[in-house]
Chain A
Amino acid sequence: MLCFTREHEWISVTDDEEGTVGITDYAQKQLGDVVFVELPEVGSRLLQGAQAAVVESVKAASEVYAPASGEVIAVNTALAEDPARVNTDAMGAGWFFKIRLDDPGELAGLLSEGDYREHVEALH
């Protein structure tokens, strides 16, 4: 299942309640060339809506918020060497971290792909 936040994060959730989190293609376009990504520590606990990571581009530094609560079980260490992955493949190889969800029910408050597209279009 793929969900989105109004703050331009995506979370892709598997059947066994693990979520992969990243920023959307729209977000990477707005940021421009990403030069640095600060990731959470594996084992740390995140609350839905709390700051989880920082993404820095040539234009700006932005916070990335956790789309759902849970424990961080993996981070994309490849981003340290190659932050450009966020630009080239925001929805794939440019993922930020994986969490084990505390409560899959939280996802109900997020946007579907169609809702997110409408949200982005309304910004212009």
Chain B
Amino acid sequence: MATFSGNRGLQMEQPLIFEQGSPDRTAVDLPDVPAVGDRLGGLKRQQPVGLPGLSEPEVVRHYTRLSQKNYCIDSGLYPLGSCTMKHNPRLNEKLARLPGIGDLHPLQPVSTAQGALMIIDACARWLMALTGMPAVAMSPGAGAHGEFVGMAAIRAAHEDRGDARRRVLVPESAHGTNPATAVACGYAVEPIPANRRGRVDIGRLRAALAPDVAAIMVTNPNTCGLFETDILDIAAAAHDVGAYFYCDGANFNAIVGRVRPGDLGVDAMHINLHKTFSTPHGGGGPGSGPVVLSAALAPYAPVPYVVNEGDGLSLVEYAAASDGKPCGRIKGFHGQFGMFVRALAYMMSMGSDGLKQAATDAVINANYVMARLKDVMTPSFDGPCMHEALFDDRFLKGSEITTLDFAKALIDEGYHPMTVYFPLIVPGAMLIEPTETESRQSLDRFIDVMRALAARAVAGDAERFRNAPRFTPRRRLDETSAARHPVLRWRTPAVDRAAE
């Protein structure tokens, strides 16, 4: 049923701010600008700037309403796998806003920022302890950036020996950024298929390994939510041909405190602070992707880095001042310092026992979801999972309902959908990652909805799914037209008319 206003209860129809404004309204009362001479010559603006005119309450309402349209971890369960959408404790935010931290400037003299360097150093030590690795580069700005730095260090290490290599092996069960990173670092990528158990086919990997392979990139746990059980053999096989072992650490949350990547033979692994260590994610970022390095790769870590020796902490800012052979500088200043504060606050408040429990709970929660849904949906692989429960679309066969329809129906139920159609090796994939954030009660509510939807789907109630979501402001969006004819820039109606 349509309403006269376009609003539906508390769900407000909200035009763009430019569509609401008019020149006769204003939130501020400015004095008239006195006539002054200028030296702009012919460069003076001829048209009005076109800023929207609104009163202060209108501006406040506009942005409040927009914020209410956003679904986030603070508004509900977020089952989006492949990224750990977990709770960011408010304590982290409080600490990051302390004046001595929040008001720091990156160009302050080092002697006046000793506390900040101490935070970077302490955060680095926690990360090295948890991964069992001897070095870490803190400056990468996000996960894929960390991958790039890790692969750049690998490239630098090979070239330093005069051993330029050509290929990088990437299993199909790895993250999509991995092959992109390898290409960005100048390597040819060779995919390694997964076996029937959703893990790296080690026979095929061994067959592809040769002295021209620079590295293998393995995500562990992998994108099917499974632990790579042959990981030690994979590492040994890579090292046997002189290749390095890059591990994608995006799913580190599932094993923190239980497995140290250093013990698995990993040479480089990025850590998404904004996933594993609870700093904001999903548009709330920025991200942060420190990369831990083995002793063989440590000399090639990029500048800057913190040195903590004797009296006070110092920064090594230039390659010439370094003992090692840095692969370069990859970011302005010192990395996402605000994220270091949040991650350190999280690690210290959780303690090593708390971090271990978080990983355990994340895995138990995913297995609980798996156990309670496996009789009505179709798990892609047998046996327990790690942090993600992966289903495919076999249970929808014959219903004319697709994975996409199923996900859209979840929106009507007030849940953000899980990851769909990824990993690519599973047809119609639905990947559910609850994380340790959710309680048993919260999981049960979600699972009950999933079971009810699955029952409706199997009963042939295609209508409910094909038109979903029905209760959102814009109903089912036409994603195909949006992708084929994207409108990337708002233009004033006058400009639009002139263009026609």
Contact = CB atoms under 8 A, between A and B. Distances in A.
B492 interface: no
A83 B484 contact: yes
Nearest to B397: A124
Nearest to A82: B484
A35 B483 contact: yes
Contacts of B479: 33, 58
B421 A33 contact: no
Contacts of A59: 421
Contacts of B421: 59-60
Contacts of B484: 35-36, 83-84
Contacts of B483: 33, 35-36, 56, 58
A87 B427 CA distance: 19
Interface residues of B, number: 7
Contacts of B427: 30
Contacts of A83: 484
Binding site secondary structure of chain B: helix
A30 B427 CA distance: 9
**Which of A35, A36, A83 has the largest number of chain B CB atoms within 10 A?**
A35
Nearest to A33: B480
Contacts of A58: 479-480, 483
Contacts of A60: 421, 424
Contacts of B480: 33, 35, 58, 84
A35 B479 CA distance: 10
B392 to A, nearest CB: 11
Interface in A4-31: 30
Nearest to A87: B480
Interface string A48-83: 000000001011100000000000000000000001
A84 B479 CA distance: 13
A50 to B, nearest CB: 11
Interface string B465-500: 000000000000001100110000000000000000
A36 B486 CA distance: 12
B485 to A, nearest CB: 9
B397 to A, nearest CB: 10
Contacts of A36: 483-484
B487 to A, nearest CB: 14
A56 B483 CA distance: 10
B191 to A, nearest CB: 10
Interface in B402-427: 421, 424, 427
Nearest to A84: B484
Contacts of B424: 60
A66 B7 CA distance: 53
A36 to B, nearest CB: 7
A35 B483 CA distance: 6
Nearest to B421: A59
A35 B478 CA distance: 12
A83 B483 CA distance: 11
A7 to B, nearest CB: 12
Nearest to B394: A124
A87 to B, nearest CB: 9
A36 B482 CA distance: 12
A88 to B, nearest CB: 13
Interface in A35-49: 35-36
Interface in B172-215: none
Given A33-B483, A35-B484, A84-B480, 9 more contacts: A30-B427, A33-B480, A35-B480, A35-B483, A36-B483, A36-B484, A58-B480, A59-B421, A60-B424
Interface of B: 421, 424, 427, 479-480, 483-484
19 contacts: A30-B427, A33-B479, A33-B480, A33-B483, A35-B480, A35-B483, A35-B484, A36-B483, A36-B484, A56-B483, A58-B479, A58-B480, A58-B483, A59-B421, A60-B421, A60-B424, A83-B484, A84-B480, A84-B484
